[in-house]
């Protein structure tokens, strides 16, 4: 979807900064840090500063345009939400590819939690490993 249409659909002001951030995320199949996004955005908007990119990522996150992923190594990574609705990811530890899952394990867990009187309000579920491309040859396999 066009960046401008995506912003308008979420009733956000269309700015060159937001369009540039969305374009960067549209042109990658990996998850990116705010610094990675800034490094790409500054190529098309030389006057932009990091705090502007970071603030706009928060706005895009709050409107569901981007997803936040917290890798096992720490920090925060972002990706464009390419599908409507709730989803999870498998993330390649070698190349950073992020592959959305259509299945949510919370569906299986929720009934058990409710039996115990616990009401979940949010969750995150990410699986780390190696994608098919990086796993060729088997040298990257790590046991659980």
- With 90 as the cut, is the pLDDT of residue 139 above it? no
**Range of lowest pLDDT (1-10, 79-88, 135-144):** 135-144
Determine if the pTM surpasses 0.85.
Answer: no
Residue 134 and residue 69: Cα distance in Å, rounded?
Answer: 20
DSSP string, the chain: --HHHHHHHTT----HHHHHHHHHHHT-SB-B-HHHHHHHHHHH-TT--HHHHHHHHHHHHHTTSEEEE--TTSS-EEEE--SSS--EEEEETTT-BEEEES--THHHHHHHHHHTT--------EEEE--HHHHTTSTT----
Domain residue spans of the chain:
1-82, 85-144
pLDDT digits (tens, 9 = 90+) for 6-60: 899 889 999 999 999 999 999 987 889 999 999 999 999 999 999 999 999 999 9
Is the Cβ–Cβ distance between 114 and 108 less than 8 Å?
A: no
pLDDT digits (tens, 9 = 90+) for 55-106: 999 999 988 898 888 776 778 889 888 665 566 778 788 887 777 777 778 8
| 1-82 CATH fold | Arc Repressor Mutant, subunit A (1.10.10)
Task: For the sheet with 126-129, list strands across it.
Answer: 98-101, 88-92, 126-129
Instruction: Work out the average pLDDT over 98-117.
Output: 82
| Domain 85-144 of CATH type 3.30.1490.190 | yes
**pLDDT, position 141:** 53
More confident residue, 111 or 73: 111
Percent of the chain with pLDDT over 90: 34
Residue 47 and residue 98: Cα distance in Å, rounded?
Answer: 30
- What is the pairing mode between strands 66-69 and 77-80? antiparallel
Residue 144 and residue 64: Cα distance in Å, rounded?
Answer: 33
Mean pLDDT, the chain, whole residue set:
84
């Amino acid at each position: 979807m066009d960046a401008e249409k995506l912003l308008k659909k979420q009733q956000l002001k269309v700015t060159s900064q937001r369009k540039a951030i969305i374009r960067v995320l549209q042109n990658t199949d990996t998850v990116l840090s705010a610094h990675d996004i800034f490094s790409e955005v500054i190529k098309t908007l030389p006057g932009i500063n990091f705090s502007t990119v970071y603030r706009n990522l928060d706005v895009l996150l709050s409107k569901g345009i981007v997803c936040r992923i917290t890798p096992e190594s720490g920090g925060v990574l972002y990706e464009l939400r390419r599908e409507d609705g709730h989803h999870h990811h498998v993330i390649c530890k070698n190349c950073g590819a992020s592959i959305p899952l259509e299945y949510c394990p919370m569906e299986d867990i929720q009934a058990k939690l409710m039996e115990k009187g616990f009401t979940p309000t949010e969750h995150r579920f990410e699986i780390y490993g190696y994608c098919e491309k990086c796993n060729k040859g088997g040298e990257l396999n790590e046991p659980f």
